[in-house]
Structure 1
Amino acid sequence: MDKVVAAADAVADIPDGATIAVGGFGLCGIPSTLIAALLAKGSRDLRVVSNNCGVDGWGLGLLLESGQISRMTSSYVGENKEFARQYLHGELEVELTPQGTLAERLRAGGAGIPAFYTATGVGTQVAEGGLPWKYHADGTVALASPEKEVRTFNGREYILEQAIVTDFALVRAAIADRHGNAVFNGSAMNFNPLAAMAGRTCVLEAERIVEPGEIPPSAVHLPGVHVHRVVEATVAEKRIERRTVRPRTEVGA
């Protein structure tokens, strides 16, 4: 099945209020082409699950600035002043989740596992509840995280975490064939395969689209069975949050 479509068509049925899992870590491996298409479509009240929300002026930060995101489930919210402003002023709901837990919640959702126990967060507000999810405009807490079930296994306490399944998933790969089989480049794999599996409808953008059979089966990172639409990545720019370098030293110095 040829799954290649235009970016605008790939996001055309994403409605207001949709839940979306988005791949990427920082600005590495983010689906910039699909984010741009969703920005142009203008869907609002989006409930996004992603490790972070991009930065000011790039990545998911674009959807945040346009007011299209109403809720974020993330593990990291730094590098984005608009994110902090919206959260602290009661404009954005935020569920902070430990990074490994977030990854496993997405994986479990894609694997059909409804929930799982983990030791991460035991003895903290992650388990006990009370983490501010949303503020009132005056700074008081409007909505807080609930208490989670705690059980003991082999003398150690664990908390119950629910899997994440979303309406859509937006991910980016280095190479994909027309059937949706995909290969990720290095650390750009990050959350992309997990997000892809968690979405009921997965839209994948690829920097290079090849014909079926060109990717050796042993090289496939994400099987096409998880992918419903393939888009050619047209936003080629790749940014980093912070560039840190050290002074160049002469060889032998």
Structure 2
Amino acid sequence: MNAAPADQIRLLDVQALDVRLSQLAHKRKSLPEHAEIDSLTKDLLQLRDLLVAAQTQESDTAREQTKAEQDVDQVRQRAVRDQQRLDSGAVSSPKDLENLQREIVSLAKRQGDLEDIVLDVMERRESLQERVGELTERVTSVQAKADIATARRDSATQELDDEAAAATKEREAVSAVIPADLLKLYEKLRVQQGGVGAARLFQRRCEGCQLELNITEVNAVRAAPRDTVMRCENCRRILVRTPESGL
């Protein structure tokens, strides 16, 4: 295959741009913010699950407290009614009076027991409310950190995308003037050779495989016409001659 020396030099420019695009893609994928956001997201999920559980418990306890307070109120109202009957003198039978007095004592004890229950429920609810508040603050804090990390990631990503877009545009412009058959060979080799399809011959060394050409290979390259597209005998990449090739 033949191609003008200038076109072969341009191929090195395309190769350099492809390497740069690959580096940018790797850098974009490897931004530290990705791992940070993943970690914060996991923390958020766990905290939100804990928060929902705590809120559910607090809600259940609130209903339990309401029920306990209603029980106390019912006993209190009944005790008040009994006391009013007792104080009114409407009950004259000694036996009925005794039963009424016994019931008032029993209701007082029952009220005391229920009030203890209310206090216990209130203490548990207060503890749960503190837990909900603590978890809410933690969720807010971690969410803020996640938002900041996301903003940093988006900013870095945009910067890399802009640089990649500029490199892609430049690559398209350079590729447009390279012969189609030379560019096709380069693309094929680039896929086969891990992203490097063309390499400079520098000081008798192929910069693709980093191996130095032996004397026979050097003489063959030196004798070949300048428009001949050379291939490295070791890695088979396109070997581009320059004034620094050491020929």
Q: TM-score range by the shorter chain?
A: under 0.3
TM-score normalised according to structure 1 size: 0.20
TM-score normalised according to structure 2 size: 0.20
Higher strand share: 1
RCO higher in 1 or 2 (8 Å CA, sep ≥ 6)? Answer: 2
Higher helix share: 2
